[in-house]
Structure 1
Amino acid sequence: MAVISVRVPDELKEKMKKYDINWSEEIREFIERKIRDEEKSKLLDEIDAFLENVPELESGRATKLVRDSRDSN
C-alpha cells in the first residue's frame, strides 16, 4: 500500500485530536468516492459524445424493429 501525506493547519490538527476518528480511513474513503465520481462523470461525457454521433431514428422506428425481431422468432 502506498503512503501519502497531507498538510493541515496546526489549528485544524488540534481540532482533529479532539475526536475519536480514524482520519486515515476517512481520507481514504473520501478519495475513493471522489475517484468514483470522476470516473462516472468521465463515462457520462463519453456516452454523451457517442450519442451525439448516433443518427436519429424516425418516430416509431425502434418499436417496429423490436416487433419485427419478436415476430421472427
Structure 2
Amino acid sequence: MAVISVRIPDELKAKMRELDINWSEEIRKFIEERVRRAEKQKKLDEIHRLLSGGTPADEGAARKYVRDDRDSN
C-alpha cells in the first residue's frame, strides 16, 4: 500500500487528536469516493463528446426503423 503525506495546520491537528476518529480510514474512504466520482465524470465527458460528434437522425427515423423491423418479421 502506498503512503501519502499531507501537511495541515498545527491547530487542525490538535483538534483532530481530540476526536475519536480513525483519520487514515476516513481520508482513504474520501479519496476512494473522489476517484470513483472523477472516473464517472471522465466517462460521461467521453460519452458526451462522442454523441455530440454524430449526425442527428431525421425526424421520424426511429418510427420508420421500428415499423420496418416489425414488418420484416
Normalised to the residue count of structure 1, the TM-score between the two structures is 0.85
Deviations along 1:5-64, one digit per CA (max 9) or x if unpaired, are 111111000000111111001101111111111111111111111011111011121132
Partner of 2:33: 33
Structure 2: 5+ residue stretches without partners? none
RMSD of aligned alpha carbons: 1.4
Normalised to the residue count of structure 2, the TM-score between the two structures is 0.85
State percent identity of aligned pairs: 62
Stretches of 4+ moved more than 6 A in 1?
none
Q: Aligned pair count?
A: 73
Structure 1: 5+ residue stretches without partners? none
